[in-house]
Structure 1
Amino acid sequence: MMNKLLLKTLPLSNVNAALLLLRVGVSLMMLTHGYPKLMRFFADEPISFTSILGLSAAVSLALAVFAEFVCSLFIILGVGTRLASIPLIVTMAVAAFHVHADDPFSRKEKALLFLLIYLVLLFTGGGKYSVDHLWSRKRIKRRR
């Protein structure tokens, strides 16, 4: 058991399982931020949200909902994982460096952690246990 923990390389199955856990775990957590924002569109109150980069509050909120809710669902399923991570990377960068620019690090930390995880998913993709992987296998079979 100890030898397995000290291995310098991991079996690919472990990496794919870890990517599945990372994808699903981080995206479920992000949904807890995106869903309440989505519900703001259906509330009777006027939309109040931080206006980002000269965009209206409604457009800024719509972009945040797209990233935090829609893209999170895509990442959970592993559908277009790399592409779906890009809006989340942008949203978390805006949250950390624009919205919380003057706040202490402890306030930026959550956005930076999400940013780091979504950067990892941009580089790795969804792994073997994703719809992306199934689609790529079908494309390879069609070429033969």
Structure 2
Amino acid sequence: MYKEVMRELLSTGNSWVPLILRVTIGGVLFPHVVQKMFGWLNGPGLSGEMKFMTEVAGLPAYVAALAILVECGGTVLLLTGMGTRIAAIGIGGLFIGMIICIHGKNGFFMNWFGKLPAGQEGFEFHLLVLGMCLALLITGGGRYSLDRWLAS
């Protein structure tokens, strides 16, 4: 039974589409991950991100730590195509949480024209990521994924 469940989770075709989706999401999220974890690219680092998530966003410390772990781990999983469906669920859940806790109150649109105060973005980008995660949940990792190699 366990092997059947794992085989189903890892099953995927050889399509280029999931690869493109994985690399796009991972490529966009990766700079955010290194900002949050290491303070690279003018990021806050782990302590600064925890401070923001607990003090500004008002999340409990364990939820903030879990969100950072999901974003960082999920990004690596998507880029490698390992556990793609699980990573897509995690990243998708994270982005739903971002809409509910932070961005939903700012409206739909990103702050393209600087009308909102700095850092107050809408949730249009988050919906795009959710759509991409849903597609990956359906298709799996596709071409050049570790899922494909592990399932064979």
TM-score, structure 2 length as denominator?
A: 0.69
Alpha-carbon distance in structure 2 between the residues aligned to 1:86 and 1:116: 11
Counterpart AA for 2:97: V
Residue 59 of structure 1, aligned match among 59, 62, 72: 62
- Name the counterpart of 1:21: 20
| Aligned 8 A contact 1:35 1:65 in 2 | no
Relative contact order (alpha carbons < 8 A, sep ≥ 6): 1 or 2 greater? 2
Kindly state the Cα deviation for residue 60 of structure 1 after the two structures are TM-superposed.
2.9
- The 4+ residue runs of structure 1 with deviation greater than 6 A are none
Where structure 1 has 5 or more consecutive residues not aligned to the other structure, the ranges are 1-11, 138-144
Residue 126 of structure 1, aligned match among 122, 141, 146: 141
Alpha-carbon distance in structure 2 between the residues aligned to 1:127 and 1:108: 28
Residue 51 of structure 2, aligned match among 47, 51, 64: 47
Residue 111 (structure 1) aligned with residue 101 (structure 2): no
Work out which of the two has the higher radius of gyration on C-alpha atoms and give 1 or 2.
1
Counterpart AA for 1:48: F
Per-residue CA shift, 1:7-32, capped at 9, x if unaligned? xxxxx76xx11221211121110122
Counterpart AA for 2:58: S
Where structure 2 has 5 or more consecutive residues not aligned to the other structure, the ranges are 1-12, 39-44, 110-121
Distance 1:17 1:105, change over 3 A: same
Counterpart AA for 2:101: H
Counterpart AA for 1:131: L
TM-score, structure 1 length as denominator?
A: 0.72
Kindly state the Cα deviation for residue 103 of structure 1 after the two structures are TM-superposed.
1.1
Distance 1:136 1:27, change over 3 A: same
- Name the counterpart of 1:80: 83
Alpha-carbon distance in structure 2 between the residues aligned to 1:89 and 1:65: 13
Alpha-carbon distance in structure 2 between the residues aligned to 1:95 and 1:24: 21
Alpha-carbon distance in structure 1 between the residues aligned to 2:50 and 2:97: 23
Counterpart AA for 2:37: L
User: Taking every aligned residue pair, what percent have the same amino acid on both sides?
Assistant: 29
How many pairs are equivalent? Answer: 119
Counterpart AA for 1:89: G
